[in-house]
Structure 1
Amino acid sequence: MLPVYLLEDDNVQRENYSDFIHNSIMINDADMELKLVTGTTDELFDSLDKQTKGLFFLDMEIADNKTAGLEAAEQIKKLIPLAQIVFITTHDELTLITLERRIAPLDYIIKNKGMDAIKKSINNDIALTQHYFENFAHHSRNLFNYKIGSRFFSVLMDDVIMLFTEKAAPGQVTLITKNQRGSFMGSLNSLETQYPDLFRCDRSYLVNLDNARTYDSKSRVLTFIDDSFCKVSFRKSRELMNSLETKIK
């Protein structure tokens, strides 16, 4: 479920916008939840967990700070890679700054256009965000995503051959694909949960059986289309043969 946040320091406007968001979520049958309605940036950031996505409706001016919402958006983008930002403000002159700071908001709602226009814009933003994340979920199932430092990378799941760890490099995962090899910090346990289509051969290997070529059940050696191979634990051997037989059918 996608968390939605509202930052607005005017009590009346905050209540109105909250109602608009609730109604829009129901109208669009969106898989969303209005997680927080607040008038302060401190409470907003205190509520953020380790999620990677969210929809944020931000008032640009909070208290006497004309760019508080803008500053909050910059921080949100750093913390939450897939955050969608919608500014609700009277300051249309600040639109250029959002471009200069590379915030790339989903929408920029001007308050003085009236409540009906704001309500319509919020509803459109809810619908658009729902559509975006439905498409993202569909495509992300076909991608393997990983992070090196502050940079995010994606490769086609069809190209993934295996991931493995070595005792000499604890906490590091090596990725082998059809055309590249790389390493990043992570754990096979979390990757196994995140990518259930990959098969856990033993404690050290997580593999894509779609790219397996042969399996010798006597030696328990699984070979892949690039001639790489890995050992399969005795406990996993029967499960592997069942999986391969299922794929052949």
Structure 2
Amino acid sequence: MLPIYLLEDDDVQRENYIKFINNSIMINDANMQLKLATAKTEGLFDSCVAPEKGIFFLDMEIGDNNTAGLDAAERIKKEVPLAQIIFITTHDELSLVTLERRIAPLDFILKNKGIDSIKKSINNDIVLAQKYYNNFAHHSQNLFNYRIGSRFFNVLMDDVIILFTEKVAPGQVTLITKNQRSAFSGSLNSIESVYQDLFRCDRSYLVNLDNATTYDSKNRILTFIDNSTCKVSFRKGRELLSILEEKNISK
């Protein structure tokens, strides 16, 4: 589900935007949720815990700071790689500054055009953002994405062999591909929910069966193209045999 964040310090305007956003989600049957509506940039970053994507409706002026929303957008672009930013502001003169800072907003909604125009623009932006993310998901479905610190990486799903965790390193996932080995913070449960083509053969292993070569069903050992192996749980053994028969992998 795509999260939406709203930064607006005027109480009346914020309530209007909340209503517009929620109505647009419902009308368009969008797979989105308004996660936060706040009056302060601090509240925005306290609640926005390093997502990889999101829609951000930002007022440009917060309190006495004419560029608070602009500064927030700059930080969002660094921390949220797939962020879509929409400014709602009276400061049309700052539109060029967004180019100078390379923020590249999806839209620049002017408050002085009236509430009906704002409502229409918010709806159009939600529809456009949904199309953007759908297109991205379609083109990136063969990529595995992960994050180390503030840097994001992706590898071809065809190259992924194994992901596993170890008791000695809780909260860390090790990735083995055809060309590299990496470790990053995460959990197999969250990865499995996103990359459903990977097979959970054991509590500690997620594997790409397209890169499996043989399966020793007696000892429940699965071997891969790089000669790495992993144990298959008794519970998953029958399911694995059925899949391997379809893939014509030797047992």
CA distance in 1, matches of 2:19, 2:151: 37
**Corresponding position of 1:83:** 83
> Number of aligned pairs?
247
CA distance in 1, matches of 2:218, 2:142: 33
SS at match of 2:29: coil
**Corresponding position of 1:8:** 8
Q: Which runs of 5+ in 1 are unaligned?
A: none
CA distance in 1, matches of 2:6, 2:173: 38
Q: 1:150 to 1:118 in 2, by over 3 A?
A: same
CA distance in 2, matches of 1:93, 1:217: 69
1:92, distance to aligned residue in structure 2 (A): 1.8
1:171, distance to aligned residue in structure 2 (A): 6.1
Q: Any idea what the Cα deviations from partners look like across 1:150-179, whole Å, max 9, x if unmatched?
A: 21111222222223457887765443334x
CA distance in 2, matches of 1:57, 1:161: 39
Q: Any idea what the Cα deviations from partners look like across 1:183-236, whole Å, max 9, x if unmatched?
A: 122356343454342224446543211222222334544333x34231434624
CA distance in 2, matches of 1:234, 1:53: 35
SS at match of 1:244: helix
CA distance in 2, matches of 1:188, 1:199: 14
**Corresponding position of 2:182:** 183
Provide TM-score, normalisation by structure 1. 0.81
Q: Any idea what the Cα deviations from partners look like across 1:43-91, whole Å, max 9, x if unmatched?
A: 3334334543321111101121110111222233344333221001121
Alignment of 1:84-103 (within 5 A): 84-103=84-103
Deviates more, 1:214-223 or 1:140-149: 214-223
CA distance in 2, matches of 1:115, 1:187: 43
**Corresponding position of 2:227:** 228
Which residue identity is paired with 1:102? Answer: R
Say if 1:87 and 1:105, in contact at 8 Å, map to a contact too.
Answer: yes
**Corresponding position of 1:195:** 195
Q: 1:169 to 1:138 in 2, by over 3 A?
A: same
Which residue identity is paired with 1:99? Answer: L
Identity of aligned residues (%): 70
Say if 1:205 and 1:230, in contact at 8 Å, map to a contact too.
Answer: no
* Aligned-pair Cα RMSD in Å: 3.0
Provide TM-score, normalisation by structure 2. 0.81
